[in-house]
Amino acid sequence: MLLLRLAHDSITSALEHREIPLDPPTAHLSEPRGVFTSLYLHSELRGCVGYVLPVSPVYRAVAETARAAAFEDTRFYPVALQEAPELQIELSILSPPQPISAEAIEIGRHGLLISSAGHRGLLLPQVPVEHNWNSTTFLEQTCRKAGLPLDAWKNGATIEAFTAEVFGDHGASAK
């Protein structure tokens, strides 16, 4: 698929210190969308970076988040040239986040964004499925990711949900 090739090319071009053309491939791919790019090496997470909000056209957001996942995710060392051919990429193209009540959350359909007092945490829709979480655990783990108390979702934190079109060149899911 075009977006997966673009993500791989963005990483490789950065490693080779060259630019790639970022012209809009189609009108559909020029629409602003939130995007998360997750990188895997031998089925292990190797980087994950994204934009929650639609700040750029989807094709540009894919190129930028792929590069950032490879080189700017502070949980990992930057991707090395010899790793690039073995990287597997998963893209999550997000809908805009909308307020949601805890009772309306659907596991496997919704990703969560929880924020309070300048802290914000996000988990993609595939995460609770991968870990077999119920809604309460999903809410608590999103609070944990935000650096908030686990029960912040009950105590005034803003809860927003989004959906994601998820595809990639492997079977692992995003973290």
CATH fold for the domain made of 98-164: Dna Ligase; domain 1 (3.30.1490)
**Edge to edge, what strands does the sheet with 164-168 contain?**
44-51, 34-41, 88-94, 164-168
Per-residue pLDDT at 27:
75
- pLDDT at residue 41 above 80? yes
By the 8 A CB rule, do 168 and 140 touch?
A: no
Per residue in 63-98, pLDDT tens? 999 999 999 999 999 999 999 999 999 999 999 999
Question: What is the rounded average pLDDT for all residues in the chain?
Answer: 92
What residue ranges do the domains of the chain occupy? Answer: 2-94, 98-164
Q: Which residues contact 42 (CB under 8 A, 6 or more apart)?
A: 86
Tell me which of 12-21, 73-82, 125-134 is least confident. Answer: 12-21
CA distance 114 to 148: 9
Q: How confident is the model at residue 174 (pLDDT cuts 50, 70, 90)?
A: very low
- pLDDT at residue 173 above 80? no
Half-sphere exposure for 82 (CA within 13 Å, toward CB): 0
pTM attached to this predicted model: 0.85
Give the distance, in angstroms, between the CA of residue 70 and the centroid of all CA atoms in the same chain: 13
CATH fold for the domain made of 2-94: Glycoprotein, Type 4 Pilin (3.30.700)
